[in-house]
Structure 1
Amino acid sequence: MATTLTWLGHAAFRMDTETGTRVYVDPFLNGNPKCPDAEREPERCDLVIVTHGHGDHVGDAVAISKRFECPVVAQVELRDWLSTNEGLPEDSRQSPNKGGTVSFAGVRVTLTDANHSSSTWHNGAILYTGESTGVVLRQEGGPTVYFAGDTNVFGDMALIKRIYAPDVAVLPIGDHYTMGPDEAAVAAELVGASRVVPSHYGTFPLLTGTPDALRPLLSAGVELLAPAPGETLTL
C-alpha cells in the first residue's frame, strides 16, 4: 500500500500512510469553499495535526477528534487552549513544541519553525494561541512529508533539509497572508524535496499566487504536483 495525499482545498490535507493510518492536517472542511462536498464529513481518522490557531487551519479538528476519539497534535499553547476552551482531553503527549517529536499510529510528528502568527477570536477578543509551526511526518518505509504551514521563506528551511530530508514539501503559495510563488520557489530550493505540492491558494480573492506562476521558478528536477481539490496523489 502506498502513501497517498489528498488536497481538500486551502491548506487542508488528508494523508493515508503505507499501513493505512489516516491523518488530517489543518482540516478546514466545513466553511472551506474549495472543499468538495463529499469530503466535508470524514469517514474515519486516526490523527489530526493543526499547525496554528487561525480558524482556517483549526477548522473541524475538534469535531473530528471527538467523533473518532483520535489525538490532536498541536503546539503546546494551542493544544492547551483547545483543551481548556474547546473540550479536548488534556494530554501532554499531544502538545509538543518546536523541535519536539511525538508518535501516534505509526507516524512520527515533528514540529518545525514557521514564520507566521497564531491567534483566535474568543468572546469578542483576539487571543494568542502560541506560535505557528510547520510539521514533518515520518513513517517506517514511507516518504517523509514536510507541511510548511503558513509561512514566508526563511533561511533555516535549510536545516529542515539537513535534518529531515523531506521527499515531499507542501508549501503555501497564495501570497498576502503567506509567501507567494517567488518565495515558495526559494523555499523549495532550501528544503530540497524532489516534489512540491502547493497549498493555501485559490480559496479567496486575496490569494493570488498560482501553481502556474510557481512552476517556471522551480529548480530543474523538482516536480510540481498540483492536484485539484479532492484529488489524491500517490507519493
Structure 2
Amino acid sequence: MDFKGVRITWLGHSTFLIASPEGPTLLVDPFLANNPKCPKSFHDVSCDAIAITHGHADHLADVFSAASRCSGPIVGIYDLTSWLGIKGIDGDKLMGMNKGGTVHLNSPAVSLTMTDARHSSSWTESDGSIVSLGEPAGYVVTFSTGFTLYLAGDTSLFGDMALIRELYEPDAAILPIGDRFTMDPKAAAVACRLLGVKAAIPCHYGTFPPLTGTPERFRSHVKDLGLSTEVLVTEPGGTFS
C-alpha cells in the first residue's frame, strides 16, 4: 500500500496521529492518558489539529488536555464544538462543521470532509446527567500528496458508504470492528466492498472485554468476500507509512 508520504500511527482503541509531508499533524479522537492501550510516550503528544468523530468518553476524554498542546483547529460537528467552548476551550481554536461540509487544516495540504456515521454521541457529566452532543460523524481526509483516507468513526454498516466511494474514492479506510457498540468484523468486510479501498486499518477492538471483534476475523471475512483489500494491523504505537 502506497501511503504517498502519509504516516498513520495507531495509539490504541480509535485514537490516531496522522502526519503528512506538506500538512499539519492531525490527532483523531483524543483518548490518551485514559486509554488503557495508549503507550505512555504518547500521553502528552502535541499536534497541529484535532478531529473528533463524536462525544463519547472513549473518543473525547483527553480533549481538554490535548487542546492545550494543539497549535491549530479542533474540528467536530457544530453541537460538540459549541459544548467544548462552553467547557472552556478557546473559541478561536474551535472549528464547528456539519455533514457534507469541508474544512482545510491550517493549509490547503489537508482537508476534512464530514460524512455520516450511525451511532450516538453524548457525554456523561460528573453528576450523572447526560448531555447530547449532536450526531456522530466520520471524515474523509484528503492530502495534497494524492492520498485519501476514510475515517469511519464509530458506526454500523450503512449502504451509503457506496456514495463515499463514488464521491471521494478513498485509498484506505480506518474501520471499527469490535462489535456490540459498532459493526463487527463481517460487517466491516462488507464496508470494504462498498468503499472499494485498497487497504483497511481496524480499530475499536481489544480495549475492553465487550469488544470481541478481532483483526483475524476481519481479515478472514475480507478474504471470504474475494476482496483484494489489504488488512493492516499493528500494536498501539505502531505506524503505517
TM-score computed with the length of structure 1 as normaliser: 0.95
Tell me which of 116, 119, 124 is aligned to 2:119: 116
Match of 2:104 in 1: 103
Distance 1:2 1:92, change over 3 A: closer
Q: Secondary structure at the match of 2:174?
A: strand
- Distance between the aligned counterparts of 1:93 and 1:140, measured in 2? 23
- Quick check: 51-60 or 4-13, which moved more? 51-60
Deviations 1:132-155 (A, max 9, x none): 000111111231111100000000
Q: Is the 8 A contact 2:117 2:156 kept in 1?
A: yes
Which amino acid in the other structure matches residue 189 of structure 2? Answer: A
Q: Secondary structure at the match of 1:19?
A: coil
Structure 1: 4+ residue segments shifted above 6 A: none
Q: CA deviation at 1:90?
A: 2.4
Match of 1:3 in 2: 6
Q: CA deviation at 1:77?
A: 0.3
Deviations 1:26-60 (A, max 9, x none): 12011111111111111x31110000000111132
Distance 1:70 1:164, change over 3 A: same
Q: CA deviation at 1:207?
A: 0.2
Q: Secondary structure at the match of 1:206?
A: coil
Which amino acid in the other structure matches residue 111 of structure 1? Answer: M
Mind listing any 5+ residue stretches in structure 1 that lack a counterpart? none
Tell me which of 82, 85, 101 is aligned to 2:84: 82
Over the aligned positions, Cα root-mean-square deviation in angstroms equals 1.5
Q: Is the 8 A contact 2:74 2:94 kept in 1?
A: no
Matches within 5 A, 1:2-81: 2-19=5-22, 21-42=24-45, 44-81=46-83
Q: Is the 8 A contact 2:5 2:145 kept in 1?
A: no
- Quick check: 113-122 or 52-61, which moved more? 52-61
Match of 2:232 in 1: 225
Deviations 1:97-140 (A, max 9, x none): 00010111331011100000000012420110000000111111
Query: Percent identical across equivalent pairs?
Result: 45
Q: CA deviation at 1:201?
A: 0.2
Which amino acid in the other structure matches residue 57 of structure 2? Answer: G
Which amino acid in the other structure matches residue 70 of structure 2? Answer: F
- Distance between the aligned counterparts of 1:93 and 1:81, measured in 2? 10
Tell me which of 143, 156, 164 is aligned to 1:139: 143
Q: Secondary structure at the match of 1:95?
A: strand
Aligned residues: 232
Q: Is the 8 A contact 1:3 1:142 kept in 2?
A: no
TM-score computed with the length of structure 2 as normaliser: 0.92
Matches within 5 A, 1:199-214: 199-214=203-218
